[in-house]
Amino acid sequence: MKEAERSPSPGVGSGRAGPRGSVASLSSLGGSVHDELFRSPRHAEAALRRMEAYYARGQLCDVTLVAGNRRIRAHRLVLSAASDYFAAMFTSPVLEATQEEVAMRDMDSDALLILVNYCYTGTLELHEDTVEVVLSTAHHLLLTEVVDVCCDFLTKQLHPANCLGIQLFADTQGCSELHRLASTYTAEHFQEVMQHQEFVQLPTEEAARLLASDDLNVPSEELIFQALVVWLKHDLETRTKDMARLLGLVKLPLLSPQ
C-alpha cells in the first residue's frame, strides 16, 4: 500500500489501510471510537471510467456540441471539470448554460472531438500533422495541460525545414517558451534554414526581423547577404520595393571585397 493511502486526512485519527482503501478512526473529531472513515483509492478513477462509458454509449448526456457537420453529445459536468472554458460557459448566466445544443463556432471539429475524448479519458495521441490544430483548439478551451504537452511535442519536432513555421505559430498562440526555443533553434541552424521553403516564403517584416538578428550563427556577413538575395529572388517582382531597406540590414563593410 502506498504511503499516500495510509495517511489520514488532517484532523482525522490514525487508522488502518488495506487493499480496498484506508480506514481511519473518527474519535479525534468527537465521534465514537467505533466510528470510522473509509476512503477508496479507486473511487475517482472508477467514476470517471463510468462517465466515459456513458459518453461512449450516448447515455445521460445533457449537451450537444456542434462544430461544422459534427455533433458531439457529452456531459456538462465532465466538460466543466476538465476545461475552464466549459466551466465558465455552463456555470455562468449565459444562453449556452441551458441550451441543449451549443455551437462551437470557428472550431475544428476533429480537434474538438479529440479534446472532448481527452476530457473523459485523460489521454491524448499527438501527431505531427494535427498537433498545431489540437494545440490551437486546446488553447481556446483553456486546456493548459494539453497546450503544454503539444508545445513539448513541437519542440521535439524542430527541424531547419519547419522551425520558422513553428516559431510563427507559437507567436500567434502566445506560447512564449516554444517561441523562444524555435527562435533559438532557427538562429543556431540558420545556414540550413535559409535553404528551405519556409525561409523564402517569409513575409517581408518577418524576413527583416530574422536577417537583422545578431544571434544568427553564420561564419560571415556574406551569408546574410546571400540569404537576402535568395529571399528576394523567390518573388523579385513583389519584393524589389523592399530591397533597399533590407540591404540596410546587412553590415556591408564586413563583406569580402570579392
Taking phi first (over 0 means left), then psi (-120 to 50 degrees means alpha), and beta for anything else, what does residue 216 get? beta
| Domain shared by 211 and 223, yes or no | yes
Q: Which residue has the cell 465521534?
A: 31
Which residue type sits at 213?
A: S
| Domain shared by 97 and 125, yes or no | yes
Q: Give the span between the Cα atoms of 71 and 91, in whole angstroms.
A: 22
CA nearest to 242, candidates 190, 207, 197: 207
From 138, 156, 174, the end of a domain falls on 156
| Domain shared by 107 and 209, yes or no | no
Q: Give the span between the Cα atoms of 40 and 150, in whole angstroms.
A: 33
User: By residue range, what is the domain housing residue 253?
Assistant: 158-258
Contacts for 53 with CB less than 8 Å, ≥ 6 apart: none
Per-residue pLDDT of the chain (258 residues; tens, 9 = 90+): 444 444 444 444 444 445 566 655 555 556 566 788 888 999 989 999 999 999 999 999 999 999 999 999 999 999 999 999 999 999 998 888 889 999 999 999 999 999 999 999 999 999 999 999 999 999 999 999 999 999 999 999 999 999 999 999 999 999 999 999 999 999 999 999 999 999 999 999 999 999 999 999 999 888 999 999 999 999 999 999 989 999 888 875 544 555
Q: Give the span between the Cα atoms of 41 and 21, in whole angstroms.
A: 6
Relative to beta strand 63-67, strand 101-103 is parallel
Q: Give pTM, 2 decimals.
A: 0.80
DSSP character string of 177-220: HHHHHHHHHHHHTHHHHTTSHHHHT--HHHHHHHHT-TT---SS
Would you call 64 helix, strand, or coil by DSSP?
A: strand
Give 69-121 pLDDT, tens digit per residue.
999 999 999 999 999 999 999 999 888 888 999 999 999 999 999 999 999 99
| Domain shared by 118 and 201, yes or no | no
Which CATH number goes with the domain that contains 229? Answer: 1.25.40.420
